[in-house]
């Protein structure tokens, strides 16, 4: 008889594609053999996880179809089982897996679509705390304001891509008009964040993306503006900062 830790390790190994010989010796069989019972359980777990991944990565699922996604998710599941009980937290490694998945090599935009799906999932399940408003800054002197290091709202992320992933996402939504997306069009940098009851993204230009990247790295507003100026000397800090404030992209001051 295996000790509990060894049993758990053996079972996890079997779910990840192991032969399950040790498990079969201690699983009771009757009209269904021990090996068959284990196969049924592995199939159920893999199918359940693949279904969860389809819900977390709906754009990827729509783009490639049920059969392709099922095969891809099945390959991922045997390499990366959940470590947390909440399935909404499962799939962080899936975009990188898609990037290296040989059958998807002719879909070079697919890893970035998976990153966008994951960012939307993270934002949606993040806490919706208080937001920074323009009125909160009225009493702060301009020189002190430039020295602040602001936080974006919890779960926010910047998803850059060489492909027009915003248009691909829109074209894949239910009810879309089915228009073709020019993959050779300019890429996109999308700021993903939590909304009141959903998650959404907004496209940023190159200078704004540099500004937000610096903010995510805990830079001050002045340093973030310098990063944007390095990309676009005509960057307008007041306009871009005001736009982000209007989008409620910043967490309230501590």
pLDDT digits over 53-84, tens only? Answer: 999 999 999 999 999 999 999 999 988 888 77
pLDDT single digits (tens) 153-206:
999 999 999 999 999 999 999 888 777 899 988 999 999 999 888 999 999 999
pLDDT of residue 79: 86
Report yes or no: 114 and 165 within 8 Å, Cβ to Cβ.
Answer: no
Q: Which of 133, 155, 154, 158 is nearest to 253 (CA)?
A: 133
Is the separation of the CB atoms in 211 and 235 below 8 Å? yes
Other C-beta atoms within 10 Å of 223: how many?
16
Sorted by where each begins, the domain ranges of the chain are: 128-254
DSSP 82: -
- At 206-240, the pLDDT tens digits run 999 999 999 999 999 999 999 999 999 999 999 99
Chain-centroid distance of CA 183 in Å reads 21
Closest Cα partner for 199 from 244, 247, 150?
247
Q: In angstroms, rounded to a whole number, what is the distance separating the alpha carbons of residues 12 and 18?
A: 9
DSSP letters for 162-187: SS-HHHHHHHTSTT-------TTS--
Note the pLDDT of residue 38: 59
CATH class entry, domain 128-254: alpha beta
- pTM here is 0.85
d(CA 132, CA 152): 9
């Amino acid at each position: 008889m295996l000790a509990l830790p060894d049993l758990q390790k053996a079972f996890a190994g079997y779910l990840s594609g192991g032969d399950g010989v040790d498990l079969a010796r201690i699983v009771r069989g009757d009209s269904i053999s021990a090996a068959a019972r284990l196969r049924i359980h592995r199939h159920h777990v893999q199918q359940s996880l693949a279904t969860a991944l389809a819900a977390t990565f709906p754009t990827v699922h729509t783009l490639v179809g049920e059969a392709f996604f099922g095969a891809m998710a099945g390959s991922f599941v045997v390499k990366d089982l959940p470590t947390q009980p909440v399935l909404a937290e499962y799939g962080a490694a899936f975009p990188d897996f898609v990037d290296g998945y040989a059958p998807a090599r002719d879909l070079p935009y697919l890893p970035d679509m998976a990153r966008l799906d994951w960012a939307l999932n993270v934002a949606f399940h993040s806490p919706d705390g208080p937001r920074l408003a323009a009125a909160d800054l009225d009493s702060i002197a301009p020189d002190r304001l430039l020295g602040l290091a602001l936080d974006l709202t919890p779960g926010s992320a910047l998803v850059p891509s060489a492909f027009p992933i915003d248009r691909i996402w829109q074209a894949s939504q239910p009810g879309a008009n089915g228009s073709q997306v020019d993959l050779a069009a300019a890429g996109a940098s999308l700021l993903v964040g939590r909304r009141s009851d959903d998650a959404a993204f907004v496209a940023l230009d190159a200078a704004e993306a540099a500004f937000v990247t610096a903010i995510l790295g805990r830079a001050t507003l002045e340093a973030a503006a310098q990063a944007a100026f390095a990309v676009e000397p005509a960057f307008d800090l007041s306009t871009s900062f005001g736009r982000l404030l209007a989008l409620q992209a910043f967490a309230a001051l501590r």
